[in-house]
Structure 1
């Protein structure tokens, strides 16, 4: 073989190796991107399902609140749980003999759970914090 054919053969080998390496790089990059895309799609689907669940819960709570604000439900709670009557109604007192009948009665539906505001405890201010007010009170009203 002469020198130009050897050189062209080496060039072909180098070119084949280069093309093979570039192909391997592109395949690895494509695989990594496709795996990442798959995991992102999975997370997006989980997020969509969570949003749908929260929207269903929100709708159910809104329905409970709307039901709790109706006149019928307020009257039901006032009559059954608070033992209130309307003007002109005659109260009926159940005796112990009828406790068995009462135990078979259907329970009331639970009221919607609404958070109650927590009261802030009132802290009395000691007279020493009021400065000279304690001296004035002592002067006008005796010992404070």
Structure 2
């Protein structure tokens, strides 16, 4: 005696498996999005820190003390009454 296949049960089982597959797929997608979100937050934090450092440099570069410092270091400027000192130790002496 053969058992009759109950099509309603088969359809319900297929639907349950299908819905379960969709659920698992969505959970994987959500996990990937959360990970990407965390990475973007870290990247944003790093960029904000770098931006703040650059803003500080911009603000500092507008000050007279910074301009004077650069003029002295890069252009070898001196004030009236100062005696210039030449340091040759950093220059290459071998030819």
Same-fold call, TM cutoff 0.5: yes
Residues 42-61 of structure 1 correspond to what in structure 2 (within 5 A)? 42-61=35-54
Say what the alpha-carbon RMSD is for the aligned residues. 2.4
Whole-angstrom CA distance in 2 between matches of 1:58 and 1:30 = 41
Is contact 2:78-2:84 (8 Å) kept?
no
For the residue of structure 1 that corresponds to 2:75, the secondary structure is coil
TM-score by length of 2: 0.72
Distance 2:76 2:8 in 1: 94
Residue deviations 1:70-95, cap 9 Å, x none?
11111122233323234xx3131336
Paired residues, number: 88
User: Structure 1: any 5+ residue segments left out of the alignment?
Assistant: 1-8, 104-144
1:19 partnered with 2:2? no
1:80 and 2:73 matched: yes
How far apart, CA to CA, are the structure 2 residues paired with 1:47 and 1:75?
40
Quote the residue 1:36 is aligned against.
29
Q: Which consecutive residues of structure 2, in runs of 5 or more, have no partner in the other structure?
A: 90-95
Q: 1:105-128 CA distances to partner (integer Å, 9 max, x unpaired)?
A: xxxxxxxxxxxxxxxxxxxxxxxx
1: CA distance, partners of 2:26 / 2:46? 30
Runs of 4+ residues deviating >6 angstroms = none
Structure having greater relative contact order (Cα 8 Å, sep ≥ 6): 1
